[in-house]
Chain A
């Protein structure tokens, strides 16, 4: 069944009518007033096929048509034109626990939701214990789900959907919920399903998850497929297009500087980031030779001030930092009225993402600051889509046959 096409979309379009005013009442119907509406092409002439056993990620920004596409695949929406062919049993996780009724117990809801996903009572009986075990809700299964926390609700919903044993699993962003422990269980279950040769179509904003899970990805924008191919390549293309947009945004945004500490006897008056070509920018390629240039005005005499900077991730985690003190350098005497530029030159061996820069000038004992500008700059790094994490370690991958010593592959 390896080459069997299990999902076939042919020139599928979906148009929504956005009515300028609502007509819900019979009175307005009887008046036969034509409602004016705008047409919105949520999905525009999309064609692709998915092989049985493939895991396909669909990525794109909000409003790009991803979820509409998933609803077309699950049969909730009927395409305006084109055809959708599905060759198997579909289980859709568009919203976990969508079929739950708050007044019914967890047990009743498992049966109800299982039936919605087209299972017979016997089939549910057979997997009921698995479902409860997976959701870890043994103690609460006979309580009405309205008493559940949202995490419990989600866990039960996921446990049901995943135990339905579908041929095709459609997942819409639902894995983002739940704690770390449950998420990793979900991913484990997904890879188990992959191993069993199930087809999975996965919509997510979590690009690392898409890369981890999917062997193929589709990048959508404005209802059109822009890229379709290997997950890593498509994610790379998506990242760079996002980075371009974000850059415009970053440049238009006011300084995100949160905190500025210090006596200001020495003042950092200008912070610039220069790319390899020496042009000021907020967008860098990974490994690009970069200069961070500070302009410092001294308003009082200063002996051996420390110059340094820190790069942080958006999560506040330190990525890198250095200063003159740690290098064992005494910087000497600076006179009041003097202005200097301090340049930190380095290769930005970072993975794609957004980072923050905080430069500082400190007293020689490193306990007080002349000027510490927290998160004064944020910049974007773009990588080629072959990596994840923070550091770009520039790996080389070599595969050698152990017996012959022959090189099979290096990249």
Chain B
């Protein structure tokens, strides 16, 4: 794994170029270009705020802020997994004709989304400051959380992009799972509301199942630090770090096993 990491560092220029390519190509022919990566979550925020704060009256304070602290990290994960899963397949021409560490493709897909995410986060920080949230102390830990989330996402994408070469259904399944996961993650609601769900009280195993969602700890952490302005739940941080390591190992091993035959299989 460390040898691979060294090779990836050797190819870092290419990695950077892939990321730039991803970003450039995406907004090339749209008039608003890069702003879409900011506009999109803002529009989603308006819609969700209308539905959940005004129609359903969830009664959450500063719902737009509450929502964005969860929605932006979720968007990062969501877009990165969708793009990362398809990354090897989408670059089939390249894989068949040129040698380079194949890991670069899913990693670049994740990093391109990370760039978008960081810009969006910078904007969110400005909002938070305007609304008087005292998150400043936690910025270093927020960055740690982002790093852990990025590693976790890379692990997931390594696994999915490798398997997707052999079973193309994966990318469709991933889309459905991501949609389910969006509602299974406390983004639109608070984790504390989950404890009160009667269904979970009658069937505790459903609650356990719900708690397996690897994205939940991230939401808890981000909310802690940005919305509640407290230290993050250390349990959540530990769980997130552990799942990130596990995802990286499984993703790396799977990808390593599958990658040599990509050129033939594509």
Chain A residues with CB under 8 Å of chain B are: 16, 24-27, 29, 71, 74-78, 90, 92, 94-95, 98-99, 101, 103-104, 108, 111-112, 115-121, 144
Contacts and interface: CB of A to CB of B under 8 A. Distances in A.
Contacts of B18: 112, 115
B17 A103 contact: no
Contact of A16 (B20, B95, B169, B264): B264
Contacts, number: 81
A12 to B, nearest CB: 15
Contacts of A111: 17
Contact of B260 (A16, A78, A104, A119): A78
A120 B10 CA distance: 10
A108 B95 CA distance: 19
5 contacts: A77-B264, A98-B94, A98-B96, A103-B24, A115-B14
B99 A74 contact: yes
Contact of A76 (B17, B96, B169): B96
B21 A95 contact: no
Contacts of A98: 93-94, 96-98
B25 interface: yes
A26 B163 CA distance: 10
Residue among A16, A27, A92, A118 with most chain B CB within 10 A: A118
Interface residues of B, number: 31
A76 B167 CA distance: 21
A116 B12 CA distance: 10
Contacts of B170: 26
Contacts of B169: 24-27
B98 A92 contact: yes
Given A78-B260, A111-B17, 14 more contacts: A24-B167, A25-B168, A26-B167, A76-B99, A77-B264, A94-B97, A98-B97, A99-B94, A103-B24, A103-B29, A108-B21, A112-B17, A118-B11, A118-B14
B25 A115 contact: no
Ranked nearest first, the 3 interchain pairs of A and B with the lowest CB-CB distance are A98-B97, A75-B99, A115-B17
B166 to A, nearest CB: 8
Given A116-B14, A118-B14, A24 B168 contact: yes
Contacts of A115: 13-14, 16-18
Contacts of A29: 167
Interface string B216-239: 000000000000000000000000
Interface string B2-28: 000000001101101110110011001
A116 B94 contact: yes
A27 B168 CA distance: 11
A77 B17 contact: no
B167 A25 contact: yes
A410 to B, nearest CB: 48
Interface string B95-111: 11111100000000000
| Main SS class of interface, B | helix
Nearest to B169: A26
A119 B13 contact: yes
A76 B263 contact: yes
Contacts of B94: 98-99, 116
A115 B10 CA distance: 11
Contacts of B11: 118
A117 B98 CA distance: 8
B1 interface: no
B215 to A, nearest CB: 23
B97 A104 contact: no
Interface string B113-149: 0000000000000000000000000000000000000
Nearest to B94: A99
A101 B170 CA distance: 25
B100 A116 contact: yes
A116 B173 contact: no
Contacts of A116: 14, 17, 94, 98, 100
B21 A101 contact: yes
Contacts of A99: 94, 97-98
Contacts of B98: 74, 76, 92, 94, 98-99, 116-117
A55 B165 CA distance: 36
A27 B18 CA distance: 33
B99 A92 contact: yes
Interface in B145-171: 166-170
Contact of B28 (A94, A103, A112): A103
A120 B264 contact: no
A25 B171 CA distance: 11
Contacts of A26: 167, 169-170, 173
Residue among B17, B96, B169 with most chain A CB within 10 A: B17
A108 B23 CA distance: 12
A116 B17 CA distance: 9
Contact of A104 (B10, B24, B95): B24
Contacts of A92: 97-99
A295 B206 CA distance: 97
A196 B17 CA distance: 30
Contacts of A104: 21, 24-25, 28
A112 B21 contact: yes
B105 to A, nearest CB: 12
A104 to B, nearest CB: 6
A39 to B, nearest CB: 13
A101 B17 CA distance: 12
A99 B100 CA distance: 11
Contacts of A121: 13
A75 B7 CA distance: 14
Nearest to B22: A101
Interface in B221-266: 260-261, 263-264
Given A76-B96, A77-B264, A108 B13 contact: no
A92 B16 CA distance: 21
A76 B10 CA distance: 18
A186 B94 CA distance: 23
Contacts of A94: 97-98
Contacts of B168: 24-25
